[in-house]
Amino acid sequence: PVLVVDFGAQYAQLIARRVREANVYSEIVPSSMPVADMLAKRPAAIVLSGGPSSVYEEGAPQVDPALFTAGVPVFGICYGFQAMAVALHGEAAHTGNREFGGTPLTIAAGGGVLLRDLEAHQSVWMSHGDCVTAAPAGFTVTAGSPGAPVAAFEDTERRLAGVQFHPEVAHTPHGQEILRRFLYDIAGLEPTWTSNNIIEEQVAAIREKVGTKRVICGLSGGVDSAVAAALVHKAVGDQLTCIFVDHGLLRAGEAEQVEKDYVAATAINLKVVDASATFLGALAGVTDPEQKRKIIGREFIRTFEAAARELDAEDHVEFLVQGTLYPDVVESGGGTGTANIKSHHNVGGLPDDLQFQLVEPLRTLFKDEVRQIGAALGLPEEIVMRHPFPGPGLAIRIIGAVDEERLEILRAADLIAREELTAAGLDRTVWQFPVVLLADVRSVGVQGDGRTYGHPIVLRPVSSDDAMTADWSRLPHELIAKISTRITNEVREVNRVVVDVTSKPPGTIEWE
């Protein structure tokens, strides 16, 4: 793999994604990892990420010079660039010339390998207080900026290079090009990380692990579990049974839609379990969000185990498929354990005495890769491009206790919002569009000729890349107006519609 060494902040994940967009496999490792351990992973190249520290600060993460003598190509970015310069006896300094945001870069004649043939004046994204003032011996300086006299350097002989700016962000127009040049032209790597190769590798790994045993997969209707199931099905065919739990907290038409899409798209055995009475019974009167999540998580597993027991009557089920993604693994500290996934993404987490071994074929993948693989496996667009929907469903979108009546109100409002978003052609622009019912709040309104005392509905459309951060979507006012008019006309109990204009952070995407 290409190892992306994480010096903190949000940069490492983005760099890892960009490397993979160049069709080269990448993994993130913490900067605290000893060089020997990094080398034991037999890295094809190493990228040192940016980070919030200052190189000369007490306790700032350093780079062990041994990293540069192992013959592995290294690319330093921002903090990683400075740390590299210092480790190789160049100089970095705190000059007081901070650069933040779009910054003019001047490329030296030729531009070396990294910046070859690019226009001499480029805009790049900078975010630094310190800068490299002298490149280490053996390096050619290929660019500078007003606040960073040495903004790019390379030693193609030793296959080492670095840049002060951030090539991974979209605000550096030629950033991806520059990253590719490091990977292909300096490190000499081949673009072999493609959907088809990933599928082949995973299918082989699943076959190896599962053998002739039975496997079950909880289908949620979302893209992750669908793609995980499709991969496992490709690997072991009818040894797989998918289970779709209808917990009564789904949106209008959702259970039918999922059933229809899957049956049409795949030949996977699908078992639909209606457990809505049990879930709603267990949730009665509960208002605390965490409490709701815990109850749902517990009921989910119970339903699931019961379904597996029914199958067990025929043959023992040994494996459970989970759609865990790479960001979950990274967030939970690198993923050495078997099931260290955020409870968030697994509806309350898994019990310690779980009877199954886990199969997690998406554990190394980002969401956009999962979508590509889904498409390559022939899953239809309705599944592959579906908006994420949380496992606890509408229960965490009703602020207050959950009951059938409130669910009906929310389903009606949610359906209108979804219909209008689709009609406006904005399904792809918006990452996710939660609709929330403030069930314990009432306000005065006038509908028809009379006073009403109804509930507000909150629209929460967001744009995002990976749900870790998000911004509120700037929907056209006419669209919001239409949704508002329709909801207040068609859903009797609602007399007010508001739009949530909070980014994440500080808000989360869901209200609970």
CB of 504 to ligand XMP, least distance (A): 5
Nearer to ligand XMP, 43 or 349 (CB): 349
In contact, 153 and 139? CB cutoff 8 Å = yes
Segment contacting ligand XMP by CB under 6 A, of 51-59, 89-97, 126-134, 387-395: 387-395
Least Cβ distance, residue 247 to ligand XMP (angstroms): 12
Contacts of 454 (CB under 8 A, 6+ apart): 442, 443, 445, 447, 492, 493, 494, 495, 496
Q: Does residue 345 interact with ligand XMP by CB under 6 A?
A: yes
Residue with smaller CB distance to ligand XMP, 269 or 508: 508
Q: Which is nearer to ligand XMP, 452 or 503 (CB)?
A: 503
Active site (annotated) includes residue 131: no
- Quick note: the x/- pattern for ligand XMP over 349-378, rule CB under 6 A, is ------------------------------
Q: Which of 144, 327, 349, 390 binds ligand XMP (CB under 6 A)?
A: 390
Q: Which stretch binds ligand XMP (CB under 6 A): 181-189, 327-335, 383-391, 416-424?
A: 383-391
Q: Does 347 bind ligand XMP (CB under 6 A)?
A: yes
- Helix or strand (DSSP H, E) at 486: helix 477-490
Stretch that binds ligand XMP, among 156-164, 343-351, 367-375, 413-421 (CB under 6 A): 343-351
Q: Identify the CA nearest to 328 among candidates 399, 241, 388.
A: 388
Considering the rule CB under 6 A, would residue 391 count as an interface residue with ligand XMP?
yes
| 45 three-state secondary structure | strand
DSSP output for 184-198: IIIS-------HHHH
The smaller minimum CB distance to ligand XMP, of residues 111 and 390, is found at 390
CB-based contact 122:104 (threshold 8 Å) = yes
Among 158, 271, 344, 442, binds ligand XMP (CB under 6 A): 344
DSSP state of 504: B
Nearest to 250 by CA among 291, 279, 218: 279
To the nearest 10 degrees (0 to 180), the angle between helices 195-210 and 367-376 is 90
Render 439-464 in DSSP notation, one character per residue.
TT--EEEEETTEEEEEEEEEE--EEE
The yes or no reply on residue 47 touching ligand XMP (CB under 6 A) is no
Residue 306 token pair:
């019961």
Q: Does 287 bind ligand XMP (CB under 6 A)?
A: no
Find the part of the chain contacting ligand XMP (CB under 6 A) among 12-20, 195-203, 236-244, 502-510.
Answer: 502-510
- 30 burial level (CB within 10 Å; 0-12, 13-18, 19+): middle
User: Where in 292-331 is the site for ligand XMP (CB under 6 A)?
Assistant: 293
Contact flags string 450-479 toward ligand XMP, x per CB under 6 A: -----------------x------------
Would you say 180 or 293 has its CB closer to ligand XMP? 293
Q: How many residues in the shown chain lie near ligand XMP by CB under 6 A?
A: 14
Q: Which of residues 266 and 432 has its CB atom nearest to ligand XMP in the complex? A: 432
Q: Is 248 exposed, middle or buried (0-12, 13-18, 19+ CB in 10 A)?
A: buried
DSSP 189-230: ------HHHHHHHHHHHHHHHHTT-EEEEEE-SSHHHHHHHH
Catalytic residue among 27, 78, 131, 455: 78
Closest Cα partner for 397 from 342, 446, 434?
434
Does position 436 bind ligand XMP by CB under 6 A? no
Q: Is 166 a catalytic residue?
A: yes
Is residue 350 within 8 A of residue 4, CB to CB? The reply is no
Q: Does residue 388 touch ligand XMP according to CB under 6 A?
A: yes
Residue range at the interface with ligand XMP (CB under 6 A); choices 18-26, 114-122, 368-376, 389-397: 389-397
Q: Does 202 bind ligand XMP (CB under 6 A)?
A: no
Among 392, 454, 456, 461, binds ligand XMP (CB under 6 A): 392
Cα-to-chain-centroid distance, residue 244: 23
Instruction: Report, in Å, the least distance between residue 149 CB and ligand XMP.
Output: 42
- Active-site residue flag, 78: yes
Degrees (nearest 5) of the Cα angle 498, 482, 384? 85
Residues 168, 254, 420, 493: which is the catalytic one? 168
- Residue 209 in the binding site for ligand XMP (CB under 6 A): no
What DSSP assignment string belongs to 47-68? EE---S--TTSTT-----GGGG
Q: Which residues bind ligand XMP (CB under 6 A)?
A: 293, 344-345, 347, 388, 390-392, 432, 467, 504, 508-510
Catalytic positions are 78, 166, 168
